[in-house]
Structure 1
Amino acid sequence: MIEAIVFDMDGILFDTERLSVESWIEVAERLGLPDIDKGVYGCIGLNRTDCRIFLKETYGQDFPYDYFREQTAAVFQRKMAKDGLPVMKGAGELLAWLQEKGLKVALASSTSHKTVESHLQQAGFTGFFQAVIGGDMVEHSKPQPDIYLKACQLLDVEPGNAAAIEDSPNGIRSAYAAGMLPVMVPDLVKPDPEIEKMLYRKCDSLFAVLEFLEEKDKKGELYQPRI
């Protein structure tokens, strides 16, 4: 029985991962940093603490992490100011349906809580979530299970009764380790055989997630709260 849905943010609700990748590549080329693709895709799903560790392990302890992130953030904000916040197709429809059904809904993102709240406000999504957890609210974010366990705790739901909507391998590993039902909507990184084995369901869009949940609802496999 699915009682709650916990969303990732970047690459699921908003097409911000693509902007981040473009920003990282632009700054890396400007600074003459080689082979940045490994760092870009390896950091998807990580919070700032774990991203710092990963980049320094990958490129050496002399990697200018703070300056690099300062520059990539500036490029990212420039792109956002120009084109606005890119909302994923189906996000609003899926959130509205979940609200109508009365399921518990949370957001668990490796991005900082302040940025998460800002994005939700810009998109008009703040009223859809009973809990919002940013990557700076846990010691270790994805692929560790901390952030999803915290989301389930705040929703007062057992992890086995909660589905996690994710796009990245690190996010799927996190949800799987937490004992949740990982639903993947692949974005920039496609699942390999290791990740495929962890999945409860794979969907090609948020509209497909909605269709999947509608099927579960018809079978009586979604929790229906008493009104």
Structure 2
Amino acid sequence: MTTKGIIFDMDGLLVDSEKIYYQANVRAAKEMGFAFTPADHQAILGTTDAYLRNYFKQKLGSADAAAEFIDRSYRNVAAVIATDGVAIKPGLVTLLDYSDAHGINRVIASSNFRSMVDDFMQSTGLQARFDQVVAGDEVTHGKPHPEIFLKALDKLALPAANALVLEDSPNGVMAANQAAIPVIMIPDLIAPTEVTQQQTLATVADLAQVIPYLEK
């Protein structure tokens, strides 16, 4: 086995949060009288807050409107999580147990705010299962730029060939590919494209199915 460290995305990969974000965005857009489309969702997946604000500034015509939309969306997300919590993704515990048994270190590389990563990890009880975190407000460039994965690789103190990225989105796959780190895609809301399939070691249905690739 050559994989000594795994870099995990969070939203849609560790926790089933992408549906919550999508529904929160749709609701906020409806409240403001415009349409939030699946194309909008795909465009912002895995990006930084700065990118998000600029994207909606262009879509809505002003920074104030963008800020209002984002604030409404975050409030909607917080309300859902406070009421219903958030589920972890299938196969995660199995993969984490396997990693523990085989001495594979782990780091989260999430485009979300560090405070949100900490909140999700605490609410799901996963905080003790991860060694380190790199969050979106700790990098300058968001995915598909490779910066966040390169910083995660530094935390693992491993060559790229001995690490593995797990991602659910095309932007994340592209970022891993740009960082020259092997990547497996576990799709959530967005299906893999022909391009992402060329950039990945494999596409699997859940996290437990990553284990056979760790055993090669």
Query: Could you say which TM-score interval applies, normalised by the shorter chain?
Result: over 0.9
Does the 8 Å CA contact 1:96/1:128 hold for their aligned counterparts? no
Task: Give, in angstroms, the shift of residue 123 of structure 1.
Answer: 1.6
Instruction: Write the letter of the residue equivalent to 1:68.
Output: F
Structure 2 unaligned regions, length at least 5: none
Structure 1 unaligned regions, length at least 5: 217-227
Distance 1:21 1:195 in 2: 22
**What's 1:223 paired with?**
none
Task: Give, in angstroms, the shift of residue 35 of structure 1.
Answer: 4.8
> What TM-score does the superposition give when structure 2 sets the normalisation length?
0.93
Q: CA deviation digits over 1:66-86, x for unaligned, max 9?
A: 111110111111111221121
The 3-state SS of whatever aligns with 1:183 is strand
The 3-state SS of whatever aligns with 2:108 is strand
Instruction: Write the letter of the residue equivalent to 2:136.
Output: G
**What's 1:182 paired with?**
183
Q: CA deviation digits over 1:91-116, x for unaligned, max 9?
A: 12211211121112111000011110
Task: Give, in angstroms, the shift of residue 130 of structure 1.
Answer: 2.0
Does the 8 Å CA contact 1:28/1:36 hold for their aligned counterparts? no
Does the 8 Å CA contact 1:110/1:141 hold for their aligned counterparts? yes
The 3-state SS of whatever aligns with 2:27 is helix
Q: CA deviation digits over 1:138-197, x for unaligned, max 9?
A: 001211000000000011011222110000000001111011001000111111111111
Task: Give, in angstroms, the shift of residue 128 of structure 1.
Answer: 2.1
**What's 1:119 paired with?**
120
**What's 1:209 paired with?**
210
The 3-state SS of whatever aligns with 1:149 is helix
Instruction: Write the letter of the residue equivalent to 1:18.
Output: K
Instruction: Write the letter of the residue equivalent to 1:209.
Output: V
Does the 8 Å CA contact 1:130/1:155 hold for their aligned counterparts? no
Percent of pairs with identical residues: 29
Does the 8 Å CA contact 1:145/1:175 hold for their aligned counterparts? yes
Task: Give, in angstroms, the shift of residue 212 of structure 1.
Answer: 3.4
Task: Give, in angstroms, the shift of residue 54 of structure 1.
Answer: 2.6
Please state if 1:170 is matched with 2:161: no
Task: Give, in angstroms, the shift of residue 120 of structure 1.
Answer: 1.1
Instruction: Write the letter of the residue equivalent to 2:174.
Output: R
Does the 8 Å CA contact 2:48/2:136 hold for their aligned counterparts? yes
The 3-state SS of whatever aligns with 2:199 is coil
Instruction: Write the letter of the residue equivalent to 1:23.
Output: A
Please state if 1:85 is matched with 2:86: yes
**What's 1:199 paired with?**
200
Instruction: Write the letter of the residue equivalent to 1:183.
Output: I
Q: 1:81 to 1:120 in 2, by over 3 A?
A: same
Task: Give, in angstroms, the shift of residue 34 of structure 1.
Answer: 2.8
> What TM-score does the superposition give when structure 1 sets the normalisation length?
0.89
Q: How does 1:64-143 map to 2 (within 5 A)?
A: 64-143=65-144
Does the 8 Å CA contact 1:4/1:163 hold for their aligned counterparts? yes
Q: 1:195 to 1:32 in 2, by over 3 A?
A: same
Q: 1:187 to 1:63 in 2, by over 3 A?
A: farther
Does the 8 Å CA contact 1:14/1:85 hold for their aligned counterparts? yes
Distance 1:166 1:62 in 2: 30
Task: Give, in angstroms, the shift of residue 37 of structure 1.
Answer: 3.0
Which shifted more, 174-183 or 203-212?
Answer: 203-212
Does the 8 Å CA contact 2:21/2:77 hold for their aligned counterparts? yes
